[in-house]
Amino acid sequence: MSELKTTTSNTWTNAQAFALAAVSLLLGVSGGWLLRRFTVAALPAQVASLSPQSTPVSAPAQPVPANFGAANELPSVQDLKQAADSQAAPLLEQLKADPNNAGLLAKVGNIYYDAKQYPAAITYYEHSLKSQPADTSVRTDLGTAYWYSGDADTAIAHFNKALSYEPTKPDTLFNLGIVKWQGKKDAQGALAAWQKLLDSNPGYQNKDQVLQLMAQVQAQNR
């Protein structure tokens, strides 16, 4: 679930934050509701389509407008990339002195993930994991980025790897269920992942939404 989310740090301008939120909304509706670390939003009441986004959301090539929220204009993919490049620049400078710093690499990956620049996010996440292969949050984000890039098999492989380190990690189990269901048409595999999530995390904050998804999958496979 890329949950209607935008993890925007203070270095984003208001216009860029509005832009990312709007594109996140579009990708959330059509691109699959995967969970990412830190912020978890509630699932929509009805999830109609959870397949990965295959084509980028585009808009007329123009700078992100200062009155974006009022004008209801969407930025182009290039606008988002430029905004991400700008935010990542200070971290990339730090990486020149410490190129294998797993934390910095993951932060850069997060910036590109939030801007829907998934190939760049994947590159930085993978580099981060070379130094810290047991970081289950980064590995889950990596799997999610692969899913949004259209690669369900690699996404599942990374989710399973994360679970080998942290078998009951709720966000990873949630995402594994989504990708098994929508990416592999494996309803039973999806239900098993979600049931394990609920059994091992009884206080999970999105429990009701997971139960809704389970009911939806069961209804489709009667």
pTM: 0.72
**Phi first, then psi: what are they for 219, rounded to 5°?**
-65, -35
Q: Which two structure tokens, joined as six digits, stand for 111?
A: 């910036």
What span, in angstroms and rounded, lies between the C-alpha atoms of 122 and 146? 7
3-state secondary structure of 45: coil
Residue 180 DSSP symbol: I
**Phi first, then psi: what are they for 6, rounded to 5°?**
-145, 110
What span, in angstroms and rounded, lies between the C-alpha atoms of 94 and 200? 39
> Is residue 182 within a helix (H) or strand (E), and if so which, with residue range?
none
What residues contact residue 124 under an 8 Å CB cut-off, 6+ apart? 105, 106, 108, 109, 112
What span, in angstroms and rounded, lies between the C-alpha atoms of 6 and 41? 10
Contact between residue 147 and residue 118 where contact means Cβ atoms under 8 Å apart: no
Q: What is the pLDDT along the chain (222 residues), one digit of tens a residue?
A: 333 222 333 334 444 444 444 434 333 333 345 666 533 333 333 333 343 433 222 222 333 333 334 445 667 888 888 999 999 999 999 999 999 999 999 999 999 999 999 999 999 999 999 999 999 999 999 999 999 999 999 999 999 999 999 999 999 999 999 999 999 999 999 999 999 999 999 999 999 999 999 999 999 988
